[in-house]
Amino acid sequence: MSTLKNKTSFLLFLFLYALVLGSVLIYFRFPADKLVIYCERSFSRLMPGTEFSIDQIHYSFPFSLALDTLKANKKTNDKQELFTIDRVLISPVFSAPTSQFQIKLDAFSGVHGFSLILGPEEKEFTLKDIKLTHLDPARIPFLERATKRKITGSIDATGEYHAVWENDRYSTKGTGQLTLEKGTFDLLLPIFSLNSINLKKFSTDFTLANNTLRCSNGLFHGKELKGDFSGSILFNSALKDGRVSFSGELEPLPPLLKKSTHAKKMILLLKKQRKRGTVPFLLKGTVQKPRFTFET
């Protein structure tokens, strides 16, 4: 009985809160246009060289603020699109309404969320309980331009992220896990006569610190190849110029061996030399111009 009473009281509180807040916003003529301009400028300051636009900002029942169609473009003459977020829903946490928020995003064909915690004097922030669900990388224009290849699939990820501004320097750290299912990854140069890798599943753990993304426990399984990997990407400037350093093992699968005499000959040779059916590899260079070699 007490549980039902508490639930009824809570629902009544939400209704009254929404009613009062809605009335106040209408009475004082909620300055949505001014808030749009303020948010666009604030986001642009957070990402130098980028311009943001928001179609509209409005109240969303029961206690949230909604941003519709948030676009980010490069601040250049051609204003190339970086990404578009269909909807952002911002809800304050009642215990700390000015410094903690729940964020929900409808973007890149999926639904994503995290908790935003603002630090003192807005010089730091933390994203906790990050959860990405069914994100389609092909829906992120800057990713294909930076890598010079098409990546498709469905990405799920979890993690945390922390950023600090100190002495005019921006530092970040984070951890997480990522999986991609039912995807494709174009290759700049053929590997075993393959121009792309058809993936059933790809997964990795990662950490971010000192501008370096480190991947561990990396595994992938496709129709024609499977393997493991580990390594890092060092970001000193743009994503396309990130320094890549990865190593791992590839194992050609029966469908590939049937159609590639090169792969079959290499595997037979390795089995004689190393008594293994896998091929070690190295990946060096940059994100946009990687160099793939087989280890001997």
Measured between alpha carbons, how far apart are the two ends of the chain, in Å?
73
Range of the domain at 199: 118-296
Closest CA to 64 of 110, 33, 25, 111: 25
Q: In this structure, are residues 256 and 192 in contact, taking their beta carbons and an 8 Å threshold?
A: yes
Residue 125: is it exposed, middle or buried by C-beta count within 10 angstroms (0-12/13-18/19+)? Answer: middle
Q: Do 180 and 252 lie in a common domain? A: yes
Give the containing element (helix H, strand E) for 229. strand 225-234
How does pLDDT run across 152-193, given as a tens digit for each residue? 999 999 999 998 877 767 788 999 999 999 999 888 888 888
Domain boundary among 92, 107, 129: 92
State the chain's maximal CA–CA distance in angstroms: 82
To the nearest 5 percent, what fractions of the chain are helix, strand and coil? 25, 55, 20
User: Do residues 59 and 171 both lie within one domain?
Assistant: no
Q: Would 22 be classed as within a structural domain?
A: no
Query: Which tens digit of pLDDT belongs to each residue from 224-236?
Result: 999 999 999 998 8
Task: Give domain status of residue 268, yes or no.
Answer: yes
Spatial contact of 230 and 215, defined as CB atoms under 8 Å apart: yes
Residue 65 and residue 169 in one domain: no
CA pair distance 290, 191, nearest whole angstrom: 13
Provide the 8-state DSSP code for 53: E
Q: Among candidates 219, 211, 175, 182, which has minimal Cα distance to 198?
A: 182
What confidence score (pLDDT) does residue 71 get?
93
d(C-alpha 91, C-alpha 114), whole Å = 11
In this structure, the answer to whether residues 270 and 125 fall within a common structural domain is: yes
- pLDDT tens track of the chain, all 296 residues? 445 444 455 555 555 455 455 544 544 455 667 778 877 887 777 677 889 999 988 877 777 888 899 999 988 877 889 899 999 998 888 787 778 889 999 999 999 999 988 876 667 888 999 999 999 999 999 899 889 888 999 999 999 999 887 776 778 899 999 999 999 988 888 888 888 999 999 999 999 998 899 999 999 999 999 999 999 999 887 889 999 999 999 988 888 888 878 777 777 777 667 667 788 999 999 999 999 988 75
In a domain, 55, yes or no: yes
Domain count, the chain: 2
In a domain, 15, yes or no: no
How high is the pLDDT of residue 27? 44
Burial class (CB in 10 A: 0-12, 13-18, 19+), 202: buried
Q: What is the pLDDT of residue 119?
A: 76
Considering the domain architecture, whether residues 274 and 175 belong to the same structural domain is answered as yes
What predicted TM-score, i.e. pTM, was given to this entire model? 0.83
Same domain, 283 and 248: yes
Residues 135 and 232 in one domain: yes
Do residue 67 and residue 127 come from a single domain?
Answer: no
Does 9 map to a domain?
no
131 and 245: one domain?
yes
Q: Which residue shows structure tokens 């304050």?
A: 92
Q: Is 100 a domain residue?
A: no
Say whether both 152 and 247 belong to one domain.
Answer: yes
How far apart are alpha carbons 156 and 181 in whole angstroms? 9
Can you list the positions of beta strands (E) in 99-168?
A: 100-107, 110-118, 124-135, 151-166
Residue 23 lies in a domain: no
Same domain, 217 and 287: yes
Question: Are residues 271 and 138 located together in one domain of the fold?
Answer: yes
Residue 281: what pLDDT? 92
